[in-house]
Amino acid sequence: MSNFSDLLIEAGEEISIPCHSYRQKGIDVRETKVDKVLSRQCGKKEGLYLTLTPNSHTTPTTLGDVLQNSIKKLIRECGVTEGKILVVGLGNENVVVDALGNEVVKRIRTGGKAFSLSAIAPKVADITGIKSFDIVKAIVDHHNPSLVIAIDTLATSLLHRLGNCYQLTTAGICPGGGVDNPQPCLNRSTLSVPVVAIGVPLIISVGSIMGNNSGEYARYMLTPRDVDTLVRNSADVIASAINDVSL
């Protein structure tokens, strides 16, 4: 079974929490800082959240540049200036829509100057019999990175977000939260190191589209017709941005 993560800051749109919106190289950027009060209101973890929405004219190079700047911003927010970064690709490589994390890991260039990159793709528990968190935690304890970057496919309840944005946060990520199969979260509290999460919403429930997510429709999930291309292109951009951060 695939463990899609929940869209990171979607709930913030529903309760209209304060945000700062701006445009960078033609890409719309929405920046939200969730403090303790807002965390209680929207049910999201404390942290800085960024949503990048490219347009139809945005080139992969431009998107990669803006994504790289956003990753650097979140790394600074975490107070990390040097050391090792462990890139974690979550999900199931045997399911196209859930293979984003794995595809990113395949494209990571290990080593580096500003930061030294290493990468793992722990797979889902249905394949290994071991929870992804347990694998990541063991490696973090042994490898002692300064930062973890976790990548996963996201679930959304907003159709206009499907395959149409990149989300990043310093709050970490909870695999499986998007399909009511929550797993232990990867965050600073559980791993004892800062975690930057990156995701792309590629799946939505039929119930969300029909406006009835508590009924039978909620059992069925949809992905874009060109999801294989979206996964491949998104993986290219994310991996390129992370690789450039290490230079």
Determine the longest span between alpha carbons in the chain, in angstroms: 52
Neighbours of 219 (CB within 10 A): 9
Weakest mean pLDDT among 25-39, 124-138, 159-173, 209-223: 209-223
DSSP code of 186? B
φ and ψ at residue 65, rounded to 5 degrees: -65, -45
Weakest mean pLDDT among 117-131, 175-189, 191-205, 232-246: 175-189
**Which residue, chain included where needed, has tokens 């528990």?**
125
Look up residue 234 and give its two tokens: 């998104």
Q: Which H helix or E strand runs over 79?
A: none
Contact in structure between 104 and 225 (CB atoms under 8 Å): no
Contact in structure between 61 and 42 (CB atoms under 8 Å): no
Which amino acid, 52?
L
- At 25 the pLDDT is 97
**How confident is the model over 201-211, as a mean pLDDT?**
87
In whole angstroms, give the CA distance from residue 200 to residue 153: 5
Neighbours of 22 (CB within 10 A): 9
Contact in structure between 51 and 11 (CB atoms under 8 Å): no
- At 128 the pLDDT is 79
**Which residue, chain included where needed, has tokens 């200036």?**
81
In whole angstroms, give the CA distance from residue 116 to residue 102: 19
In whole angstroms, give the CA distance from residue 110 to residue 119: 7
Q: What is the pLDDT confidence band of residue 16, given thresholds at 50, 70 and 90?
A: low
**CA end-to-end distance (rounded Å), the chain:** 36
SS3 assignment, position 50: strand
The structure's pTM equals 0.91
Neighbours of 73 (CB within 10 A): 17
Q: What confidence tens digit (pLDDT) does each residue in 46-90 have?
A: 999 999 999 999 999 999 999 999 999 999 999 999 999 999 999
| Angle made by CA atoms 233, 197, 111, in degrees to the nearest 5 | 75
Burial (CB < 10 A; 0-12, 13-18, 19+), residue 182, is middle
